[in-house]
Amino acid sequence: MTPPKDAELISVVVPAYNREASIARSIHSVLRQTWPHMEVIVIDDCSQDGTVAVVEAIADPRVRIVRMERNGGPSVARNRGIAEASGRWVAFQDSDDEWLPDKLNQQMARIAEMGADCVAAYCGMAVEGGLSDSKDARLHVRYLPRSDITRTEGDLREVLDSTSLVSTQMLVARKDTLQAIDGFDEDLNALEDWELSIRLAEQGPFAFVDRILVIQRFSPNSITADQRRRLHARARILAKHADRMSRAPRNLAQQYRILAGEYRREGFDSEAGEALRQARRLQPLDPGLWARSLALRLARVLPAKPD
């Protein structure tokens, strides 16, 4: 697919923190794009390793680095990148992932087909690896978005109320729209891509390229901490967007059910009980919710089994 001769500038934002081992591969996958007109803005979030030196050694005028004065996390870094962007469209790459060469070209072509009201595009992503770090574990690859999700393009408000479709490295979005919704929620340390997509979808339709154009290499580091961050992020997202998510009570109840399970696995039984209560309020005739609530109450009052 040949890009248009008048291809407009795309700003690619790459937040980075202590990624000297992987960031060069990530940036070079962006520089190999067939889309001819882009800039790469690396936001260094106060790295303590050689990340800055690796980026500065990339001899390409399209790459520049912005160094944060203090560590703020990926959402703060991405918002700084949006503010620094010169392009009308902003794409996001992670510092340890890889783009296939035609990613931006195919996404921009689909945006053009969708029309002027399109606010964003995303694409398929292959995720290599999983939660297991066992030396005997086989390579596990999965595709996002999941194949059981049938609505992947256009008005995605309802589907995004129930599930996350778009990881940041899959996304291209209009800069003015990102700024109009105040970018990423800087209070979130996980699921920030889902929360951004929920608000972005309120502004207009999404385009989708159903092909693997991104490769994410999953790292099992700090699995427990990540799970805890995810549950707190989910709780914040549900509190923040409960009114709009209540348009589909069954979907919102399912999110509270998921949150209850995450709280339970982390040992927060009271919070798990409250999440189940919220789910029952939305779906009072669901016997599974009542069974889960009863099981949780019994687990809290019955003596633990001896070892």
Residue 223: per-residue pLDDT: 47
Taking a C-beta distance cutoff of 8 angstroms, is the pair 24, 96 a contact?
A: no
Q: Is the residue at 305 inside a domain?
A: no
Q: Band the pLDDT of 45: cuts 50, 70, 90.
A: very high
Specify the DSSP class assigned to residue 90: E
Residue 64 contacts residue 80 (beta carbons within 8 Å): no
Find the farthest-apart pair of alpha carbons in the chain and give their distance in angstroms, rounded.
Answer: 73
Confidence bin at 304 (pLDDT 50/70/90)? low
* 120 neighbors 200 (Cβ within 8 angstroms): yes
211 and 229 belong to one structural domain: no
Give pLDDT tens digits for 77-102.
999 999 999 999 999 999 889 999 99
Check which CATH number belongs to the domain holding 244 and give it: 1.25.40
Check pLDDT > 70 for residue 298. yes
Domain boundary among the residues 160, 193, 217 is at 217
Question: Is residue 182 within 8 Å of 202, Cβ to Cβ?
Answer: no
Q: What's the CATH number where 160 sits?
A: 3.90.550.10
- pLDDT of 7 reads 81
Tell whether 50 and 133 lie within a shared domain. Answer: yes
pLDDT tens-digit map of 110-142: 999 999 999 999 999 999 876 555 666 677 789
Tokens found for residue 97: 């992932």
Which of 34-43, 123-132, 140-149 is predicted least confidently? 123-132
Q: Is the pLDDT of residue 306 over 80?
A: no
Residue 49 resides in a domain: yes
For the record, the structure tokens of 223 come out as 């699995």
Same domain, 129 and 230: no
Sequence-ordered alpha helix ranges (H) in 146-248: 157-162, 175-180, 192-201, 223-245
pLDDT exceeds 50 at position 272: yes
Average pLDDT, integer, range 171-185:
98
Q: Is residue 3 part of a domain?
A: no
Per-residue pLDDT for 4 more than 80?
A: no
pLDDT at 168 over 90: yes
Split at pLDDT 50, 70, 90, the class of 227 is confident
Q: What is the DSSP-derived secondary structure letter of residue 303?
A: P
Q: Is residue 104 part of a domain?
A: yes
Which range marks the domain in which residue 207 is found? 10-217
Q: Is the pLDDT of residue 222 over 50?
A: no
Same-domain status, 117 and 238 = no
Domain boundary among 185, 217, 249: 217
Domain boundary among 190, 217, 244: 217
